[in-house]
Amino acid sequence: MKPHMLEKNRTVSLALVASLVAMSAGFRLAKHIALGSVQFVNFPAVFTILGGLLLGHTAGFLIGFLSFLVSDLFIMYAGAWTIVTSLSMGLVGALSPFACQMSDRVSLARLAVSSYLLVLVYDILSSVLLLVPTTPLQVALSMSIIGLFLPSAVMLYPVGLVTEVVTTSLIVLIYPKIRGIWRQIEL
């Protein structure tokens, strides 16, 4: 590859990382303004997994980490949990290229299963890490799973299941289109 092409790809990749972080934070902020804290989609996960698939492990980590950090600051919801959610989503971004290794022929079923599992890992990991300082690990794990999959007095629907399905659906709908555009840019 010619040196100027390598520099172009770095610049385009950096611009895409910044754009995905901005879209993630923007969509999360818009959802928060429109619906408050009602949880039904994880926009940072959508853009983190897409970014990891397109740009690799490092970019996926950056997008995941920065998406929660920036959006928590915009929503004025930053706190100690921001470190946990940012690092957990960064891990999802770093793992997404491994979990969703896509060939030229995209298997949407494989993408859906891998994306669902990544969002599930994020939900459980971030919940457990937030509970562990005050709760034994086994109890924290049980509470996290029960809290995600059973309705409660606070949320009258299984918030984890709904969020994971909606988030995964968005990834599966968006990825083929964005991958086609990315291929054209790479050339």
- pLDDT of residue 113 exceeding 60, the answer is yes
CATH classification at residue 147: 1.10.1760.20
- pLDDT of residue 103 exceeding 80, the answer is no
Largest CA distance in the chain: 60
- pLDDT of residue 23 exceeding 80, the answer is yes
pLDDT (mean) for 154-170: 87
pTM: 0.89
* Predicted confidence (pLDDT) per residue in 115-159, tens digit: 999 999 999 999 999 999 999 999 989 888 888 888 766 666 788
Residue at 89: amino acid letter? M
- pLDDT of residue 27 exceeding 50, the answer is yes
- pLDDT of residue 106 exceeding 80, the answer is no
Cα separation, 96 vs 102, in Å, equals 10
Report the 10 Å Cβ neighbour count for 18: 13
Per the structure block, which two tokens stand in for 113? 């299963």
Q: What is the 3-state secondary structure (H, E, C) of the chain?
A: CCHHHHHHHHHHHHHHHHHHHHHHHHHHHHHHHHHCCCCCCCHHHHHHHHHHHHHCHHHHHHHHHHHHHHHHHHHCCCCHHHHHHHHHHHHHHHHHHHHCCCCCCCCHHHHHHHHHHHHHHHHHHHHHHHHCCCCCHHHHHHHHHHHHHCCCCCCCCCHHHHHHHHHHHHHHHHHHHHHHHHHHHHC
* Count of domains observed in the chain: 1
In which domain, by residue range, is 41 found?
3-186
Q: How far is CA 165 from the centre of its chain?
A: 13
* Predicted confidence (pLDDT) per residue in 42-82, tens digit: 999 999 999 999 999 999 999 999 999 999 999 988 999 99
